[in-house]
Structure 1
Amino acid sequence: MKSVVAFANGTGGKIIFGIADKTREVIGFDKEEVFKKMDAIANAVSDSCEPTIIPDITLRTVDGKTVIVAEISEGRKRPYYIKALGREGGVYVRVAGTTRLADEYMIKELMFEGSNRYFDQALCTGLTITDEDIDALCKAMKEQAVQNAHNEEQKASIKDVGRQQLRSWGVLIERDGKDYPSNAFAILTGNGGLHVTTQCGVFKGTTKAVFVDRREYPGPLWEQIDEAFQFVLRNIHLGATIVGIYRQDVYEIPPDAIRELIINAVVHRSYLDHGTIQVAVYDNRLEITSPGKLPMGQTVERMKEGYSKIRNEALAHAFSYMNLIEHWGSGIPRIIGKVKKAGLREPEFIGGEVDLRINIYRDQSNDTVDLNDRGSDLNDSNSADKVPGNISKVPDSADKVPDNTSKVPDNAIKMPDSEQEQRIYKYVLENGSITTNKVMELLNVKQRRARVILQSMIEKDWLKKTGAARSTIYLKNTEGR
């Protein structure tokens, strides 16, 4: 009965009667008793399980003997439990081919599924918000939507997001003319008691035995996504190729695929599970683990084919508005396509019963790049430009690594190591000088961050500062370089 309940709480399954458990020998049933056994099984399931489970019981012939197959379908009235044990102690689930007692988180997950509700749209108890908090979220989401727009036309079409929109998505809950925060509000802003963070780590070798670096990023979801994305880019190989007269940077894993994979984990994870999204860089792979079992009706195979099963509807609407996700369901097939186009093996999907782990394997065959062969392959041993053998590091304070590759003239002029500094220096070489406002526009960073980068370039003798206040400009330091 535990297995029956577990199958109903999961994706369904079959129980075969008439097979020896240990030896798998076909025992079978006599014709005289087989129908009595079928009735007994049906009655036991009906009497023992709540809500009612009706198995599909059939006879099969195996090795000339008759066995009974009881097929349990995926249930829609979850959670199912053994009546005598009650909901508190009688809910079972399938994990890695075994039947296990469900923990508190899993029971809550099943309850939301069974009532066709979403946890992120439920009221966030204990969180008090003000009008200023709501306005700040609306403003931040609009900024993200503009920042993530693909072109000027899309950017111009973005409308302000207001309270009514947040209510329709389930980010706000209106009661008696007053707005209250849902769990989605707390998750998006990083407030409330849900403690939503993203953990990132670099490991030596192919296991978690030896840490090289470890970070944990709290705060608004879009900041966690960006921090995790930058972390991965700082810790994978960056190669180069020559396209015409330009040098073009090429990451060993397509940045777009990395970013989409992190976004997918954030929007589709279970927030009932108190675990965290884990982004791990090993010598041979990038591994992203998302807490929680796959939603009811979803499988790894269907997910890879583009079938989307929304677990967090409010977050999905918010992410769609912010241009963080496009067409629902298209993310995973797009990631697979980009990874394969880069010459890497197809991403590996593991689990789905407790959590979902996706591996993108790094190309360790060689360290060279040739874009004349394909856009981002790492397979031309004759190329003069080598991917660094050591892990490329950028200071943790670095603000953004652009999704698009920057082009730097490949000549005798020495360039800064940081990609952001390269873009600034290239602009100075081509235009003679640069201002703080231009750096903010060029790198899409805030004023304080722009000044930090410029000051760093002055200290490294790349630039020199002239003028004061609004007349300040930055020139190439001809003495230092």
Structure 2
Amino acid sequence: MLSRESETVEFKKTTAQLKEGVISLCAMLNKHGEGTVYFGVKDDGSIAGQDVGKKTTSDISHEIRTNLKPLPDISIDIHSINGKTIIAVQAKGTDTPYSAYGRYYTRVDDADTYMDSHQLLRFFESKDTTYSTWEEQSSGCGIDTVNEDLLIQYIRTANDAGRMHYIFNNTSEALNKLNLITNDGQLNNAGHFLFGNDGPVLLKEVMYSTDDRRDFADLKQYHGNILECIQEGMRYIESNIRYSARIDGLQRVEQPEIPIRAIREIIVNSFAHCRYQKGDSNAITITRSRVTVYNPGGLLHGTEPRDFASGRVGSKIRNPLIAAVLFKNGMIDAFGTGFDRTFKACAENGVEYSYRNDEFGFTFTFARKSTETSRTIPDRSERLRNGTDRRIMELISKDQYITTTELAERLGVSRPTIARHIKSLTERGVLERVGSRKSGYWKAKY
């Protein structure tokens, strides 16, 4: 009989509980930097025994390597106690925080508990090699410069994602909840760049007709905050890449030449890791055969995307406050795993990619597919036929939960007029309603 479970010891009756075992390893690593899970042992410490086949240990190793990020030092040993076999899996590592199956856990006595965003932030703050003191410095801007509508929408999304449990009362309280306000009531730099309504972030967008980049078809400089720039970057790429069509049952489905989830990961990564204090800007460049996203921040400490995707290293966060905010509303699913999802999405869709990380920044390039089998979605201006369409979409882009009554009031038109435009936008594939009429939200599709 073994001793009791503790903050560094966990018992599992069989490897049928392997997923729970990996979560326990994650929790123990985050709490103490090490831990051991025994398979073949009951909760009370009595030996149940575990069948061990040819692939048992390799299956355990594969499960850990696939789902525990970053990968700690692992040892798997087989022991015999009173004629019964048990498996001891020990993990050691200091590259916290560790995640299991995309979520973060810590250990409290003999239980694994979900780690909240404040605990995550403390992990990043303790890493002085990556922590940005710039984020905490006062921006000199008061809370009156905050885009309150965007802040309210953000909190709704974070609550829906299950990563916040907060009802908006006022701007100051909400910003304090997100650690985005200084002691004297000013926005810190992170808060200003995330929610400022004075366009603190510059996103350069350019599209060339050919690959030699001599003649541009579109050139734009977009000023907004981080959340607005992420939305604008996604919109710009989605509006200017090519789509092919397939029939799914009775529905015609548009298939983008580059998977949207891969674009999303790179765009969010670009703004999460940007070096804002230098005054540099992110850039999106679209040519005939390539889509390129540039981030002036670059990856820290000479790391490469493959290091993060493989789990060999943990996430190195340049802007932990900004990253924590993006994590809460679901833009970042798990720190350090975005490249893994990007690579998998590209592989599944046959999309080639490349990247460069140097002293100038980080550049990620998607290869576009042949024009012979795909087409370009019409430009935004072609798909929004009149001013009312455009104003409706602008309001929806700022608040995806806005009601038709609110739209009518903001635009000074009747509800039937709004209903007609909404119907037209939906039929043309520009707008989609997600969820019910009462609790759902709008999704722009251009």
Q: How far apart, CA to CA, are the structure 2 residues paired with 1:286 and 1:453?
A: 36
The match for 1:291 is 296
Q: Which has the higher contact order (CA 8 A, sep 6+)?
A: 2
The match for 1:361 is 367
Quickly say closer, same or farther: Cα 1:228–1:269, change in 2 above 3 A.
same
Q: Is 1:312 aligned to residue 319 of structure 2?
A: yes
What SS does the corresponding residue of 1:395 show, helix, strand or coil?
helix
Quickly say closer, same or farther: Cα 1:365–1:133, change in 2 above 3 A.
closer
Number of residue pairs matched by the alignment: 281
The match for 1:173 is 182
The question of whether the paired residues in 1 share the 8 Å contact of 2:354 and 2:365 is answered with yes
Q: How far apart, CA to CA, are the structure 1 residues paired with 2:299 and 2:408?
A: 38
Post-superposition CA distance 1:195-239 (Å, at most 9, x none): 421111111212332110112221222111111111111111122
Quickly say closer, same or farther: Cα 1:239–1:353, change in 2 above 3 A.
same
**Percentage of pairs with the same residue:** 19
Q: Is 1:279 aligned to residue 291 of structure 2?
A: no
The question of whether the paired residues in 1 share the 8 Å contact of 2:153 and 2:401 is answered with no
The match for 2:443 is none
What SS does the corresponding residue of 2:380 show, helix, strand or coil?
coil
- Which of 235, 238, 257 in structure 2 is aligned with 1:230? 235
Which letter does structure 2 place at the counterpart of 1:392? P
Q: How far apart, CA to CA, are the structure 2 residues paired with 1:391 and 1:397?
A: 9
Provide the aligned C-alpha RMSD in A. 4.1
Q: CA deviation at 1:363?
A: 1.6
Quickly say closer, same or farther: Cα 1:296–1:351, change in 2 above 3 A.
closer
Quickly say closer, same or farther: Cα 1:248–1:281, change in 2 above 3 A.
same
Q: Is 1:217 aligned to residue 222 of structure 2?
A: yes
Q: How far apart, CA to CA, are the structure 2 residues paired with 1:279 and 1:184?
A: 23
For structure 1, the residue ranges without an aligned partner over 5 or more in a row are 1-111, 368-386, 400-417, 422-437, 463-481
Q: How far apart, CA to CA, are the structure 1 residues paired with 2:262 and 2:130?
A: 34
Q: How far apart, CA to CA, are the structure 2 residues paired with 1:308 and 1:396?
A: 41
Q: How far apart, CA to CA, are the structure 1 residues paired with 2:422 and 2:195?
A: 31
The match for 1:328 is 335
The match for 1:184 is 190
How does 1:189-208 map onto structure 2 within 5 Å? 189-190=195-196, 195-208=200-213
The match for 1:350 is 356
The question of whether the paired residues in 2 share the 8 Å contact of 1:291 and 1:355 is answered with yes
Q: CA deviation at 1:304?
A: 3.7
The match for 1:52 is none
Q: CA deviation at 1:148?
A: 7.1
Q: Is 1:270 aligned to residue 283 of structure 2?
A: no
Which letter does structure 1 place at the counterpart of 2:234? F
The match for 2:135 is 120
Q: How far apart, CA to CA, are the structure 2 residues paired with 1:393 and 1:230?
A: 11
The question of whether the paired residues in 2 share the 8 Å contact of 1:198 and 1:217 is answered with yes
The question of whether the paired residues in 1 share the 8 Å contact of 2:200 and 2:224 is answered with no
Quickly say closer, same or farther: Cα 1:240–1:116, change in 2 above 3 A.
closer
Q: Is 1:252 aligned to residue 223 of structure 2?
A: no
Quickly say closer, same or farther: Cα 1:116–1:143, change in 2 above 3 A.
closer
The question of whether the paired residues in 2 share the 8 Å contact of 1:171 and 1:184 is answered with yes
Quickly say closer, same or farther: Cα 1:159–1:311, change in 2 above 3 A.
same
Quickly say closer, same or farther: Cα 1:170–1:158, change in 2 above 3 A.
closer
Q: CA deviation at 1:155?
A: 6.3
The match for 2:71 is none
The question of whether the paired residues in 1 share the 8 Å contact of 2:155 and 2:166 is answered with no
The question of whether the paired residues in 1 share the 8 Å contact of 2:245 and 2:253 is answered with yes
What SS does the corresponding residue of 2:285 show, helix, strand or coil?
strand
Which letter does structure 2 place at the counterpart of 1:181? L
What SS does the corresponding residue of 2:276 show, helix, strand or coil?
coil
TM-score, normalization by structure 1: 0.50
Q: How far apart, CA to CA, are the structure 2 residues paired with 1:184 and 1:332?
A: 24
Q: How far apart, CA to CA, are the structure 2 residues paired with 1:142 and 1:294?
A: 32
Q: How far apart, CA to CA, are the structure 2 residues paired with 1:446 and 1:348?
A: 46
Quickly say closer, same or farther: Cα 1:160–1:398, change in 2 above 3 A.
farther
The match for 1:129 is 142
Q: How far apart, CA to CA, are the structure 2 residues paired with 1:252 and 1:366?
A: 12
The match for 1:393 is 379
Q: How far apart, CA to CA, are the structure 1 residues paired with 2:371 and 2:338?
A: 28
Quickly say closer, same or farther: Cα 1:117–1:341, change in 2 above 3 A.
same
What SS does the corresponding residue of 1:392 show, helix, strand or coil?
coil
The question of whether the paired residues in 2 share the 8 Å contact of 1:289 and 1:358 is answered with yes
Q: How far apart, CA to CA, are the structure 2 residues paired with 1:335 and 1:447?
A: 41
The question of whether the paired residues in 2 share the 8 Å contact of 1:236 and 1:392 is answered with no
Q: CA deviation at 1:447?
A: 7.0
Quickly say closer, same or farther: Cα 1:454–1:155, change in 2 above 3 A.
farther
TM-score, normalization by structure 2: 0.54
